[in-house]
Amino acid sequence: MSNIDKQALRERYSPQPAPECHICGKEMTIQRMSARRITYGCTGATYDDKGCHYAEGRSIADDHYEQSRVTVVDVSDPDVLALLDELEHYKSREERVTNLVLDNSTSWDALYKKLEAAERRIAEQSTIVAAAEKLVRCKGRYHSELNYRELAKLFGVITPDLPPLEHENVHYADAAEVEITALRQRIAELEAKLETADKLQDSAFRHGLQHGFSYGQTNDQAGFEQCMAAYSTRAGIGVKQQDSVGSDVGGRNQPGMVVAIHIDAGDFVKVKGQVFEVEETDFDDHDVTLWFVGGNALKCAAGCPVEVVSEPVAAGIKVKGE
């Protein structure tokens, strides 16, 4: 993924604004569209309720207009932009999951330290409890006094101020056990969250990297198209195939009546009993001109129905270049 400039892809496949006239600097308007080729021109005309008005010194189809005409190829593709948006979404999700795992790792370190401290306290309390039990079992003034002083030394207090330890020690040990139980429960909760985070991260990698975003595996056009096709099948979105020079059967209309504006290069149409292969289409205002192989042409309204036939019917046609 790192060897693909996603910003460059976004700029390349985003719709481009109308160019400015290199003569006067005004924004030009569309004068002609043919497939992906768009011709712009500076007409110098403005329109209002009273009709069309030309700028001073300008007229219809003047030299200014002819010199300003420029043709550009529109390569914008909304499906590529949608794919880039999905990639950014999964990348952001992956980062959130990674941060969650790192945060949990920090929390575990702190909890493990608390657990170790609690275990040390339990060990210390166990020593105190053992001494208290020994004191209770002692019989006779001599043995009781020895254990009494031993406990006082253990607690670091003056012997006359020594509290009744046998009950307090049991209380401290019980409190430590409760704290350890709570810590272990908290660790179990964090481990469950980690398992969920691992599943989310695995899902993000499998669906994001393996089934739609493995651009880094190949730099050729075939690999790129295969990547988009795999992602469209996984995510359920339509990804339009890249236009290519010489594309034929895959882009043709199915046989039947088709509106003229939808006829495209490579289609075979039937006009007055004769079958022609469409070489180029041209849309001007509300009319469509179909240029056929061999130099013939048909001009009709954009909504006019035209009969499209399959290639076998037109197998005997002499195509351009034969």
Query: pLDDT tens-digit profile of 137-190?
Result: 554 444 555 566 666 666 555 555 444 544 445 555 566 677 777 777 877 787
Rounded mean pLDDT, 73-102: 82
CATH 2.30.30.30 residue ranges in the chain?
249-314
Contact 299, 288 (CB under 8 A): yes
Nearest CA among 237, 213, 236, 235 for reference residue 224: 213
pTM: 0.24
- Report CA 266 to chain centroid distance, whole Å: 35
CATH code assigned to 249-314: 2.30.30.30
pLDDT tens, position by position, 102-116: 777 667 777 778 888
CATH 1.10.287 residue ranges in the chain?
80-210
Burial class (CB in 10 A: 0-12, 13-18, 19+), 208: buried
What is the average pLDDT value for the chain, to the nearest integer? 71
List of residues 6+ apart from 260 with CB closer than 8 A: 288, 290, 300, 301, 302, 303, 304, 305, 306
DSSP 8-state secondary structure symbol assigned to residue 261: G
Contact 9, 227 (CB under 8 A): no
CATH code assigned to 80-210: 1.10.287
